[in-house]
Amino acid sequence: MPSSESLFARAQQLIPGGVNSPVRAFRSVGGAPFFTKSARGATLTTADGRELIDFVCTWGPAIHGHNHPRIKAAIAAALENGTSFGTPNPYEVEMAELIVSFFPSIQKVRMCSSGTEATMSAIRLARGFTKRDKIIKFAGCYHGHSDSLLIKAGSGALTHGHPDSAGIPASFARETVVLPFNDTAALDAAFGANPGQIACVILEPYIGNVGFIKPDAGYLQHVRQATAANGALLIFDEVMTGFRLARGGVQELEKITPDLTCLGKIIGGGLPVGAFGGRTDIMNLLAPLGPVYQAGTLSGNPLAMAAGIAQLRLLDEVKPYARLDALGRQLCAAAQAAAKVKGIALQTPQVGSMFSLFFTPTPVRDMSSAMTSDSALFGRFFHACLANGVYLPPSAYEAWFLSTAHEGPAIDRACEVLTSAIKSL
């Protein structure tokens, strides 16, 4: 197999930046990306033959680890019948039934092919339902790369220093009100300044795209009350957190019922997928029942549905959430202990299988406090870990992910590597 170096050289001649998603490029941590030839459990194997303990987990979907035999078998069985039909198929009905059973707030659901499609479509649906144009989002929350939402975004846009993308008309941006996360006064002021104009509020209830950030106690409840009082819909973007932090996502943990929910990642078992769902009266506005148009050639693709069904059924069998939380606490405790010995300020927000390391003395509760993290120090930490066989998100501003496959030797080795890397700084 060609080396990562030669593959990257070839890719740069044909693919912008040599990558098909910007955060893979290692621009914020320095160096060149490796190429993966295979993955199993908690381990990636690179084109160069290196084995790496993986805390990216394909950016969230691999909650059972890579190449799980049950999911692989489900894909193989579906493949026997074809790759795509262009008609309804039995798998998408079963997936809809599972999603509705996991998420009580979702009465009807529409499948699509990516998280970006899910959030874009949910926004359009909210505008169609309320007959209003403006939306509220929060700085650092990333909801995919559609025009209305790639404004003060997180994820790769933040990592590469371009939180506002070129190519978005100013007229689009004017319809998006961007607020600081965890600021109830700012939210109330925005509704006051735009009476009867806000169609919806969309947010990651636990942020994962500017690093992992938790809401203040009572904050999400305030958002729910404010939207209801002002006739706006509340959209939870649980593309990352859905099924990962709890069976019913953050809304289960926080006991909040949003009007619409966006999903993805885990429901595809590693294949491209997205979904959005919510109250029946809202969802019935979608074509063919209503005037809000949304469509997709590969929506409800049988291979993705089969993989996702296997993954969701496995979640109900193994009930992993307490175990994943213990793994997260173990890693964060090891990092904190090493930072204390070294005299390095470190924040480690964590819930379940998602967490981040911020090299800052400032408690992280929004985008501006996340940006106080020392990204240069993180870059050195990243490469110290990578050199010793542990792969982290290649950005100081992304959440880390755990899987059930990290239990045992992988987590113990990772704690050793994180401890050594912090002490080397």
pLDDT at 167 over 80: no
Q: Do 49 and 76 fall into the same domain?
A: no
Q: Do 329 and 255 fall into the same domain?
A: no
Q: Do 101 and 56 fall into the same domain?
A: no
Alpha-carbon distances, residue 351 vs 155, 253, 324 (angstroms): 19, 10, 9
Tens-digit pLDDT profile for residues 297-336: 999 999 999 999 999 999 999 999 999 999 999 999 999 9
Question: What is the extent of the structural domain holding 362?
Answer: 4-63+320-423
Q: Could you tell me what percent of the chain has a pLDDT over 90? A: 88
pLDDT at 150 over 90: no
Q: Mean pLDDT, to the nearest integer, of 219-235?
A: 98
pLDDT at 158 over 50: no
Q: Mean pLDDT, to the nearest integer, of 63-78?
A: 98
Catalytic positions are 142, 237, 265
Q: Do 211 and 359 fall into the same domain?
A: no
Q: Do 90 and 160 fall into the same domain?
A: yes
Query: What token pair was written down for 156?
Result: 């790769």
pLDDT at 147 over 80: no
Q: Mean pLDDT, to the nearest integer, of 11-28?
A: 92
Q: Mean pLDDT, to the nearest integer, of 350-354?
A: 98
Q: Do 15 and 90 fall into the same domain?
A: no
Q: For residue 162, what is the DSSP state?
A: -
Q: How many CB atoms lie within 10 A of CB 171?
A: 8
Query: Pick from 286, 317, 348: which residue ends a domain?
Result: 317
Q: Do 418 and 355 fall into the same domain?
A: yes
Q: For residue 362, what is the DSSP state?
A: S
Our CA angle for 52, 54, 60, nearest 5°, is 160
Domain count, the chain: 2
Tens-digit pLDDT profile for residues 255-268: 999 999 999 999 99
Please state, in angstroms and rounded to a whole number, the distance separating the CA atoms of residues 336 and 344.
Answer: 9
Q: Mean pLDDT, to the nearest integer, of 1-9?
A: 94
Query: Pick from 292, 317, 342: which residue ends a domain?
Result: 317
DSSP string for 215-281? PPTTHHHHHHHHHHHTT-EEEEE-TTTBTTTBTTHHHHHHT---SEEEEEGGGGTTSS-EEEEE-HH
| Pairing of β 274-278 and β 108-112 | antiparallel
Q: Do 326 and 210 fall into the same domain?
A: no
Rounded to the nearest integer, the mean pLDDT of the chain is 94
Q: Do 74 and 28 fall into the same domain?
A: no
Sheet-wide strand order for 350-351: 350-351, 354-355, 400-401
Please state, in angstroms and rounded to a whole number, the distance separating the CA atoms of residues 148 and 134.
Answer: 10
Residue with the larger pLDDT of the pair 154 and 9: 9
SS3 (DSSP) at 114: coil
DSSP string for 36-61? EEEEEBTEEEETTS-EEEESSGGGTT
Please state, in angstroms and rounded to a whole number, the distance separating the CA atoms of residues 113 and 144.
Answer: 12
Query: Pick from 289, 317, 345: which residue ends a domain?
Result: 317
Please state, in angstroms and rounded to a whole number, the distance separating the CA atoms of residues 304 and 61.
Answer: 12
CATH code, 33? 3.90.1150.10
Q: What is residue 40's predicted lDDT score, i.e. its pLDDT?
A: 98
Sheet-wide strand order for 36-40: 36-40, 43-46, 51-54, 390-391
> How many whole angstroms from its chain centre is CA 189?
28
Q: Which of 133, 127, 148, 109 is nearest to 238 (CA)?
A: 109
Please state, in angstroms and rounded to a whole number, the distance separating the CA atoms of residues 200 and 232.
Answer: 5
CATH code, 158? 3.40.640.10
Q: Mean pLDDT, to the nearest integer, of 14-29?
A: 91
Please state, in angstroms and rounded to a whole number, the distance separating the CA atoms of residues 372 and 387.
Answer: 26
pLDDT band at 22 (very low <50, low <70, confident <90, very high): confident
Q: Mean pLDDT, to the nearest integer, of 109-135?
A: 96
> How many whole angstroms from its chain centre is CA 277?
17
Q: Which of 131, 176, 129, 172 is nearest to 152 (CA)?
A: 176
Predicted TM-score (pTM) of this structure: 0.95
Helices (H), 107-236: 115-130, 155-159, 170-173, 184-193, 219-229
pLDDT at 349 over 80: yes
Strands (E), 289-371: 350-351, 354-355
Q: Do 398 and 287 fall into the same domain?
A: no
Q: Mean pLDDT, to the nearest integer, of 241-270?
A: 97
Please state, in angstroms and rounded to a whole number, the distance separating the CA atoms of residues 328 and 319.
Answer: 16
Q: Do 34 and 155 fall into the same domain?
A: no
Q: What is residue 159's predicted lDDT score, i.e. its pLDDT?
A: 43
Q: How many CB atoms lie within 10 A of CB 151?
A: 22
pLDDT at 164 over 60: no
On whether the CB atoms of residues 353 and 401 are closer than 8 A, the answer is yes
Q: Do 391 and 257 fall into the same domain?
A: no
Query: What token pair was written down for 183?
Result: 């600021």
